[in-house]
Structure 1
């Protein structure tokens, strides 16, 4: 086939449909990979989503006749904290980009994705170390939103979201320490699930313990399939196959609705309308929706915990950076925000650090108790539509400004990571200009099954499959 023609024909197919073409013998893995390469080369120059291209590796993997449920489907891996054998991971950092050291082995999740037959064609952009909810960095430049290239794609898995939304690949890996899958899913009109924290690892001792690994996708079924494939590595240990949840009856759910910030101040009208419209849709499907959310979210607990965790976490990151570089890290090696956070983290006493850890445990218990009387919490994913590109750039004059602005932009996502719960962003709403606005559903720990059931209901009732940006 002519690859541009095949590229156009498969551009908007999800991963499940692309895999079905291979099974049916209508295309080969090599043809799917060449089609994806053609799309990356055609669309990425305007977006800056793909930081590193591993096209020769992808071609070789496709030629090796991959097997598995997603055999031959092209895929991208986020360029932060994820090892792929033979590929460089820069964490969005200039010094690691210059070093360009390739990993010797796959991480656990990548190994499972590879065994499922996915073909890794490259790496996607993030903010440096994933600190802020954008995907711009000094190392790689800006990542723009396919729906409107003057806007950011969110982050920190924004390169993944931009690539999937633009139709380069049908799904892409992301990780989420405070919303980094859900935020770009909202900005780019995709499905973004953060799985539960591992059942055996409920205590949080560091920022790394907040991390959930999964993907951004175009369809709920792809989200379920990828969760099935990666569940041992993601920590979501549901005993049954997640594909069995698609179309299953969730029952009549008790849903709390939050359409303001936690302190009652308003969010952007489009974001509030997205949550209210989703609430009406849930009610039309037979669920009970009423205003409500965990009371602890309206006090200052999370505001007290976040700075200590971010700072001590960045001190650990800079220590790891020194190990990877084989030398002392200097201020010139990292962006101003992360250098400042690292210096603040180095000053946190052991007692203060332990107090933060204890505070998280109490906070998580308080949040989780709300689910004794509710099944889901519904919020806007974000408090504002996508920001102008560059809004969250690190500024040496006020290094912490981008972190503060990011917290204003995305107030609804971090608590889920601290509480260890699963949450999903769904592209149920569009504004007057056609820009996607996501809504977030949060379930009790371990209840990915419930999220997938109700997400399938919503996708069927208000499908988004045919909404695409024009590039």
Structure 2
């Protein structure tokens, strides 16, 4: 496998457009050819759009030809003409199928009625969707096995889960169909599939990416959109594209300095950082996962950072937050089901919704409104408690003496290796298995802070393992800077030709 992921990323592809070595039509056609060849085995892309993608690629090719003729640069569109994929949950596209993994929407052949703010930003940047990707129903689990479309396979091993809920997007990127893909994260749904498929998965700060115009406080404020990428530099450039607030957003992340970009963080000198490391309560993480986390901690120590093991914010692993999240999520599911009943003008029934989500909606309907408000207040108190752990501004700090806050927290993404398909969707034990596997991801959704999953090791079967770094509220720059430093030091596993033969 190639040692350098940068040979296969969106940034390299855009540079090839600028040099005239290829063009968006050729690149998009190549992506569609790979989609046709690989997708039958993966089931990653469920709504291809070849004709529209090629038409948009023609427009992008013309723009690049005009730039080359004028000896100009990318005109503020550094990813113009790059093929991508869009998760079939959120990121609505007018006229495109939008089924959110739900059987009743498949039966209705439901289509988006508008372009979301996020999709407009992607299109305005010139990025070209080759199709929409598979997701579990309403994105409520960390594997991608909806009854509506069937399971998506992990490109590293077709018997394994690609993670979820952005598993279709992760599989498409890992298999090389597209270099980047949209995802969203309301409970690890970007970071988990990134870890399972060997990708970089950045969950932005709450409010960094707008959910306008359809959604407001999405999933109690837990959920945020982002991108799955092959490289850290693509993660930075994609965040520059999509981090534009819309009027009336309920949350707005701290803005960058005027004229600054997230891509700037890749070349910004890092101070010596204070990094806490935790693998959770004893015996929560498996031995391969602990070794992967310790390996990254050792690398960071060798790079000159101050490392302290077995350290985490007070209450970070408290079971109380899981109890309150159940209230918020089940009430949210009840509201989602009720919303569809209103839009369709008929009651929803158990025949419409998968059993686990129907049960969740039923529980949510049974709870009083006061329980929801109390849960949000309890989570707000927890959030204030844990956020005092982080330094608010690591860049430009004049040294570490007397410094009593932390810059980063390093943890696993999952507590064990990537499970086989069917393991997490088991109707009897699936919920318990998910709870056992994912004790490290929900915290950043509740706190709203950014976190990034990095593929730094292989499990005993040769599949990727991910670790994640958390930064303080609004500090994606420090995450991108440290992630790039890890990548430059050879800390990311190779990603190119996969260790299996896809048909």
TM-score tier (shorter): over 0.9
CA contact (8 A) 1:187 1:386 kept: yes
Identify the residue that residue 392 of structure 1 maps to in structure 2.
Answer: 424
1:421 aligns to 2:449 (yes or no): yes
Output the CA distance in 2 between the equivalents of 1:405 and 1:321.
29
SS of match in other structure, 2:158: strand
1:144 aligns to 2:153 (yes or no): yes
Output the CA distance in 1 between the equivalents of 2:151 and 2:7.
24
SS of match in other structure, 2:173: helix
Output the CA distance in 1 between the equivalents of 2:161 and 2:127.
28
SS of match in other structure, 1:250: coil
1:293 aligns to 2:312 (yes or no): yes
1:330 aligns to 2:349 (yes or no): yes
Output the CA distance in 2 between the equivalents of 1:151 and 1:225.
30
1:72 aligns to 2:84 (yes or no): no
How big is the shift at 1:247? 2.7
- Label 1:76 to 1:361 Cα distance change in 2 as closer, same or farther (>3 A): same
- Label 1:362 to 1:156 Cα distance change in 2 as closer, same or farther (>3 A): same
Higher mean alpha-carbon deviation, 453-462 vs 312-321, is at 312-321
Identify the residue that residue 7 of structure 1 maps to in structure 2.
Answer: none
RMSD between superposed Cα atoms in Å: 2.0
How big is the shift at 1:431? 2.2
Identify the residue that residue 265 of structure 2 maps to in structure 1.
Answer: 245
CA contact (8 A) 1:15 1:171 kept: yes
- Label 1:289 to 1:161 Cα distance change in 2 as closer, same or farther (>3 A): same
Output the CA distance in 1 between the equivalents of 2:483 and 2:450.
13
1:362 aligns to 2:377 (yes or no): no
How big is the shift at 1:434? 2.0
How big is the shift at 1:205? 6.5
* Unpaired runs of at least 5, structure 1: 1-9
How big is the shift at 1:394? 5.7
1:129 aligns to 2:138 (yes or no): yes
SS of match in other structure, 1:134: coil
1:38 aligns to 2:33 (yes or no): yes
Output the CA distance in 2 between the equivalents of 1:18 and 1:317.
39
Identify the residue that residue 405 of structure 1 maps to in structure 2.
Answer: 433
5 Å-filtered alignment, 1:193-204, equals 193-198=202-207
Output the CA distance in 1 between the equivalents of 2:156 and 2:49.
26
- Label 1:458 to 1:200 Cα distance change in 2 as closer, same or farther (>3 A): closer
Identify the residue that residue 487 of structure 2 maps to in structure 1.
Answer: 459
Output the CA distance in 1 between the equivalents of 2:30 and 2:342.
39
- Label 1:435 to 1:43 Cα distance change in 2 as closer, same or farther (>3 A): same
Identify the residue that residue 51 of structure 1 maps to in structure 2.
Answer: 46
Identify the residue that residue 224 of structure 2 maps to in structure 1.
Answer: 212
5 Å-filtered alignment, 1:247-262, equals 247-259=267-279, 261=280
- Label 1:192 to 1:40 Cα distance change in 2 as closer, same or farther (>3 A): same
Count of residues in correspondence between the two structures:
454
CA contact (8 A) 1:296 1:367 kept: yes
Output the CA distance in 1 between the equivalents of 2:208 and 2:465.
31
- Label 1:101 to 1:449 Cα distance change in 2 as closer, same or farther (>3 A): same
CA contact (8 A) 2:209 2:242 kept: no
CA contact (8 A) 2:324 2:378 kept: yes
Identify the residue that residue 383 of structure 1 maps to in structure 2.
Answer: 415
How big is the shift at 1:206? 6.1
How big is the shift at 1:458? 0.1
Cα offsets for 1:157-204 (capped at 9, x unmatched): 010001100000001000000110000000000000000012799xx9
SS of match in other structure, 2:468: strand
- Label 1:407 to 1:366 Cα distance change in 2 as closer, same or farther (>3 A): same
How big is the shift at 1:370? 1.3
How big is the shift at 1:466? 4.5
From 106, 115, 122, give the equivalent of 1:113.
122
Higher mean alpha-carbon deviation, 438-447 vs 42-51, is at 42-51
Identify the residue that residue 311 of structure 1 maps to in structure 2.
Answer: 330
Output the CA distance in 1 between the equivalents of 2:240 and 2:148.
34
CA contact (8 A) 2:275 2:307 kept: yes
* Unpaired runs of at least 5, structure 2: 64-76, 211-215, 247-251, 392-404
Output the CA distance in 2 between the equivalents of 1:266 and 1:215.
28
Output the CA distance in 1 between the equivalents of 2:20 and 2:217.
49
Higher mean alpha-carbon deviation, 328-337 vs 227-236, is at 227-236
